[in-house]
């Protein structure tokens, strides 16, 4: 890419800005070098649809770094990688075991491929009211009850950093003759430090997705799909990727994947050691602040994720998130009613964690708790639901918009969720229960950012016609 940018090329191809000459405002904003690097498929730069040159070499190096047989660069985030993963191994009518706290992209992937989910129950941290991950026993229970399942889909880790005993789950899946699929969007850094949880490929997963932009350092939207081709048809994966992926994939994003991979291999150990140390220091200091506590788990948790329990303050997690941004210029990753999440990563510096601790300490002084906070939730807001139709059938069925108070007992025709983390509270094909309606109303009242709903006023829900 740099070689192309440095050449004196007369461009009669796309993109239309012609190496930055046509839209000066973009040069002013992004810089001349970035505009020259924004190119399309050329002889020296290979073609992502059928790579035989530098893209193939970069993908092979990427696969090697992650202990996989093959890798595909994905320029539409792990959303498209998850869609491709599901479409590569499932057909309409297949059954797949999934945790209830999946990201919405997995649900949308089921709409695309036509498979039906069987939801596994994640372990609940009663003290914190947090959904964790699925246990080996839960996977075994679901496999016993659904021996016709084609695959098991797991999170490695959850948004909050919880992992499973994935090695044991992998052995269980392969003994049962089912594929193990992993959403590893938040675990792109796992293979590069011994204190991190094990990566999906290292635990026997057959295929996984990685959001390299989240914790691996690549540009936003840069992800990858990696696989063990012993049990996965790599040619089918390639065909699916070419259906879902643009034919004009950004070379800036692919280049950032290659550069991030190089950095993780060369510098990941050192940078992640610093990230772990900063996380541990911040955890110790935050735990000393009245009204705050940091979730501490040595086993099955990513040590770079700080889950801060703010239920001892007179603020909800939503309010803490907003105040940190508006008043302290501190940007957190996500918020829930009782918790906020801070991610410590490759580029985090000591000055950053000190600023976070100082801001949290100030909020604790300004908004002390009374011990009787009315906003406290005692459990996760994702309800147990019954799947009455496949997500695909419900999505394409005729629907009507009705008030929530009339929706109990009806089949949902849409997804509704708080974002982040993007875990559906109700999904197409599920029966709407009174618990679901109560959870939604509670989140709305607490100020959660609700997305994907058809009614912007959040008074009605799409349901399948009777």
Are residues 157 and 222 both part of a single domain?
yes
In a domain, 19, yes or no: no
Rounded to whole angstroms, the Cα distance separating 374 from 317 reads 13
If one counts the domains in the chain, the total is 3
Are residues 147 and 88 both part of a single domain?
yes
Rounded to whole angstroms, the Cα distance separating 57 from 266 reads 18
Are residues 304 and 251 both part of a single domain?
no
Please give the pLDDT value at position 297.
75
Please give the pLDDT value at position 370.
82
Are residues 155 and 279 both part of a single domain?
no
Domain boundary among 264, 288, 310: 264
Please give the pLDDT value at position 72.
98
Are residues 235 and 161 both part of a single domain?
yes
In a domain, 332, yes or no: yes
Alpha helices in 1-115 (DSSP H): 2-6, 24-30, 32-37, 54-65, 77-89, 104-113
Give all strands of the β-sheet with 423-426 in edge-to-edge order. Answer: 423-426, 416-418, 450-451
Are residues 101 and 217 both part of a single domain?
yes
Domain with 448, as residue range(s), is: 391-464
In a domain, 372, yes or no: no
Are residues 162 and 272 both part of a single domain?
no
* Cα angle value 397/399/405 (rounded, 5°): 135
Please give the pLDDT value at position 450.
87
Please give the pLDDT value at position 383.
65
Domain boundary among 264, 285, 314: 264
Please give the pLDDT value at position 241.
97
Are residues 272 and 260 both part of a single domain?
no
Rounded to whole angstroms, the Cα distance separating 141 from 137 reads 6
Question: Read out DSSP for 430-460?
Answer: BBPPHHHHHHHHHHHHHT--EES-S-TTSSE
Contact 276, 187 (CB under 8 A): no
In a domain, 385, yes or no: no
In a domain, 3, yes or no: no
Are residues 259 and 286 both part of a single domain?
no
Rounded to whole angstroms, the Cα distance separating 263 from 212 reads 12
Are residues 275 and 402 both part of a single domain?
no
**CATH number where 352 lies:** 3.90.1150.10
Rounded to whole angstroms, the Cα distance separating 303 from 281 reads 11
Are residues 195 and 180 both part of a single domain?
yes
- Bridge pairing between strands 334-335 and 339-343: antiparallel
Q: Residue 349 gets which letter from DSSP?
A: -
Are residues 274 and 259 both part of a single domain?
no
Mean per-residue pLDDT pooled into runs of 10, the chain (466 residues)? 91 92 95 93 91 97 98 96 98 96 94 96 83 95 97 96 96 96 98 97 97 97 95 96 95 97 98 98 97 84 96 94 98 93 97 98 95 56 80 96 94 88 88 89 83 87 94
In a domain, 75, yes or no: yes
Please give the pLDDT value at position 449.
85
Rounded to whole angstroms, the Cα distance separating 329 from 334 reads 15
In a domain, 128, yes or no: yes
Please give the pLDDT value at position 380.
53
In a domain, 11, yes or no: no
Strands (E), 136-206: 151-155, 179-183
């Amino acid at each position: 890419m740099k070689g192309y940018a440095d050449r004196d090329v007369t461009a009669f191809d796309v993109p239309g800005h012609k190496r930055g000459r046509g839209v000066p405002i973009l040069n002013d904003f992004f810089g001349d070098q970035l505009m020259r690097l924004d190119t399309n498929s050329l002889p020296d730069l290979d073609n992502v649809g059928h790579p035989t040159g530098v893209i193939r070499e970069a993908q092979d190096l990427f696969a090697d770094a992650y202990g996989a047989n093959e890798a595909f660069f994905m320029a539409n985030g792990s959303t498209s990688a998850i869609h491709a993963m599901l479409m590569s191994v499932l057909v309409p009518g297949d059954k797949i075991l999934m945790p209830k706290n999946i990201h919405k992209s997995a649900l949308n992937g089921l709409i695309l491929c036509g498979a039906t989910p069987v939801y596994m129950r994640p372990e609940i941290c009663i003290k914190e009211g947090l959904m964790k991950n699925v246990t080996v026993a839960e996977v075994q229970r679901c496999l016993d009850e659904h021996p016709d399942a084609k695959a098991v889909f797991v999170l490695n880790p959850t948004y909050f950093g919880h992992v499973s005993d994935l090695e044991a789950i992998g052995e269980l899946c392969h003994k049962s003759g089912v594929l193990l699929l992993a959403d590893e969007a938040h675990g792109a850094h796992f293979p590069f430090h011994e204190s991190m949880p094990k990566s999906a490929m290292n635990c026997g997963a057959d295929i996984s997705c990685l959001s390299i932009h989240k914790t691996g350092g690549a540009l936003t939207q840069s992800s990858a799909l990696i696989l063990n081709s012993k049990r996965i048809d790599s040619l089918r994966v390639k065909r699916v990727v070419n259906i879902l992926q643009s034919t004009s994939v950004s070379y800036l994003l692919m280049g950032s994947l290659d550069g991030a991979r190089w950095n993780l291999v060369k510098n990941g150990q050192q940078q992640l050691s610093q990230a772990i140390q900063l996380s541990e220091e911040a955890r110790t200091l935050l735990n000393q602040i009245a009204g705050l506590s940091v979730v501490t788990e040595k086993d099955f948790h990513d040590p770079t994720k700080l889950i801060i329990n703010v239920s001892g303050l007179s603020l909800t997690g939503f309010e803490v998130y907003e105040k940190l941004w508006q008043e302290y210029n501190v940007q957190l990753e996500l918020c829930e009613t009782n918790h906020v999440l801070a991610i410590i990563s490759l580029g985090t510096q000591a000055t950053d964690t000190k600023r976070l601790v100082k801001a949290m300490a100030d909020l604790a002084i300004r908004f002390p708790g009374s011990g009787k906070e009315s906003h406290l939730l005692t459990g996760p807001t994702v309800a147990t639901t019954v799947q009455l139709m496949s997500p695909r059938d419900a999505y394409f069925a005729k629907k009507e918009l009705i008030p929530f108070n009339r929706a109990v007992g009806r089949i949902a025709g849409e997804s509704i969720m708080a974002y982040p983390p993007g875990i559906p509270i109700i999904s197409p094909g599920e029966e709407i229960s009174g618990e679901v309606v109560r959870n939604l109303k509670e989140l709305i009242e607490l100020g959660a950012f609700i997305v994907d709903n058809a009614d912007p006023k959040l008074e009605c829900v799409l349901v399948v016609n009777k």
